[in-house]
């Protein structure tokens, strides 16, 4: 069952990566076309939601970031819980390698970013931007060249990326939460407690879980805490047990039903609204500014050094083993793919630089760093796959 869930996840993510890339290309194209005014008016247009005592006005981009992306983090939370209890993360021996690799892949990119942003004109508070890996893009890139590669590489990359996302969510909650409203936090906690109690009702209608999630999200939005935390926290209240005997568990039902909507609708919509930036307003100083360079090199250089270096260290110390059948050059190729930050990095960058003049630098850095990581990772893994083919001939 765990293997089936993982394979379904990988297939969905691989297909989603293509749509994500198309959405980003369309966004950048529109932002630099005669229709750029319409594009920017659309993503910046104010939109009000008023339901009873809830009244909030945000731009379309902010609603996608704070609203729809909370559903994305809910699904991420479901996947993390499933992997911890039933999947790859349930085995401590298999868990050690991707956890250490993920930690290396978060620490080193942050240091690379800070190396370019601690001086005059830098923006050190943007250090979390290059930390995360975009699962959809990374899995899609691996799928392009994976025909002759061992399947354990896919599981290693997936597990590493899940741990990476969990770390990114923790960083978001710690770094980008300010002016907390305690009453709203209390409401969110009470709503989470109700969702946890709901999990004890075996035949609880799924609509009740949806209502509970909306309550947690609404209170969290009003509290000043990042709604990404609301998504993950709500996911951890969903029970694993099935509503009826011989049926998939409640968590699996939610994960399988929501994941395609997240992969094919929410993430592409976020990419479309967040990736667009105008070349017209970019100067050489902006393109080669400390934020852009720090972000790009954090993803392209920092990720590969952190992930591969941590992997080599823990394997060399005999505290973990390489994925079955995987060569060192292939682990290096996967380490390169971990530098594809795209969706997650754009999300964190939007939190770090909300409406800031450095936001264009962030987008340039994310796109360039992710593109370099994609090209280099595919090239290395293609070479290794071709070599395997010649050896098998």
Domain-embedded: residue 143: yes
Distance CA 63, CA 141 (A): 29
Domain containing residue 256: CATH number: 1.20.1530.10
Provide the pLDDT for residue 93.
Answer: 67
Domain-embedded: residue 37: yes
Q: Is 87 helix (H, G, I), strand (E, B) or coil?
A: coil
Give me the mean pLDDT over the 151-174 stretch.
78
Give me the mean pLDDT over the 309-313 stretch.
95
Distance CA 376, CA 308 (A): 14
Provide the pLDDT for residue 164.
Answer: 82
Question: How many distinct structural domains can be found in the chain?
Answer: 1
Mean pLDDT of the chain: 83
Domain-embedded: residue 185: no
pLDDT over 70, % of the chain: 90
Tell which wins on pLDDT, 18 or 384.
384
Domain-embedded: residue 372: yes
**Lowest-pLDDT range of 215-219, 257-261, 356-360:** 356-360
Domain-embedded: residue 193: no
Distance CA 49, CA 51 (A): 7
Distance CA 166, CA 145 (A): 27
Domain-embedded: residue 57: yes
Domain-embedded: residue 166: yes
Number of Cα atoms under 13 Å in the Cβ half of residue 335: 29
Distance CA 270, CA 264 (A): 11
Q: Is 46 helix (H, G, I), strand (E, B) or coil?
A: strand
Range of the domain at 87: 2-177+226-392
Ranked by mean pLDDT, the top range of 31-45, 67-81, 267-281 is: 31-45
- Residues near 185 by Cβ (< 8 Å), separated by ≥ 6? 219, 220, 223, 225
Ranked by mean pLDDT, the top range of 146-160, 196-210, 290-304 is: 290-304
Domain-embedded: residue 302: yes
CA dihedral 73, 222, 346, 358 (to 10 degrees): -170
Bridge partners, 48 (sequence order): 57
**To 5 degrees, how large is the angle CA 121–CA 122–CA 128?**
160
DSSP state at residue 239: -
Provide the pLDDT for residue 288.
Answer: 80
Distance CA 343, CA 57 (A): 24
Tell which wins on pLDDT, 247 or 89.
247
Provide the pLDDT for residue 88.
Answer: 59
Distance CA 251, CA 199 (A): 10
Q: Smallest Cα–Cα separation from 273: which of 363, 168, 341? A: 363
Distance CA 110, CA 163 (A): 16
């Amino acid at each position: 069952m765990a293997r089936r869930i993982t394979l379904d996840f990988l297939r969905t993510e691989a297909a989603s990566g293509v749509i994500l890339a198309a959405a980003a290309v369309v966004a950048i194209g529109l932002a630099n076309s005669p229709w750029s005014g319409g594009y920017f008016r659309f993503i910046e247009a104010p939109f009000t939601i008023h339901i009873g005592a809830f009244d909030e006005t945000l731009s379309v981009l902010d609603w996608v970031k704070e609203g729809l992306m909370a559903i994305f983090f809910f699904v991420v939370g479901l996947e993390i819980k499933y992997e911890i209890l039933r999947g790859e993360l349930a085995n401590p021996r298999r868990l050690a390698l991707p956890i250490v690799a993920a930690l290396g892949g978060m620490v080193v990119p942050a240091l690379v970013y800070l190396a370019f942003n601690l001086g005059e004109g830098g923006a050190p508070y943007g250090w979390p931007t290059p930390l995360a890996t975009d699962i959809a893009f990374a899995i899609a890139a691996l799928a392009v060249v994976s025909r002759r590669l061992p399947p354990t590489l896919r599981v290693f990359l997936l597990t590493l990326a899940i741990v990476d996302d969990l770390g990114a969510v923790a960083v978001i909650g710690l770094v980008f939460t300010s002016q907390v409203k305690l009453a709203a936090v209390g409401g969110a906690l009470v709503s989470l407690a109700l969702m946890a109690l709901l999990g004890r009702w075996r035949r609880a209608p799924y609509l009740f879980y949806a209502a509970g999630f909306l309550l947690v999200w609404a209170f969290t939005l009003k509290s000043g805490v990042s709604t990404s935390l609301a998504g993950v926290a709500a996911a951890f209240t969903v029970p694993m047990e099935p509503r009826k005997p011989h049926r998939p568990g409640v968590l699996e039902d939610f994960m399988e039903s929501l994941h395609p909507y997240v992969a094919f609708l929410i993430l592409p919509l976020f990419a479309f609204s967040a990736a667009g930036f105008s070349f017209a307003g970019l100067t050489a100083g902006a393109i080669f500014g400390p934020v852009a360079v720090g972000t790009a090199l954090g993803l392209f250089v920092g990720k590969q050094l952190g992930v591969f270096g941590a992997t080599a260290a823990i394997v060399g110390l005999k505290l973990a083993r390489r994925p079955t059948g995987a060569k060192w050059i292939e682990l290096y190729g996967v380490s390169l793919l971990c530098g594809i930050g795209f969706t997650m990095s754009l999300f964190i960058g939007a939190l770090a630089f909300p409406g800031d003049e450095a936001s264009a630098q962030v987008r340039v850095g994310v796109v360039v760093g992710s593109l370099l990581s994609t090209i280099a990772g595919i090239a290395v893994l293609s070479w290794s796959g071709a070599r395997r083919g010649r050896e098998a001939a």
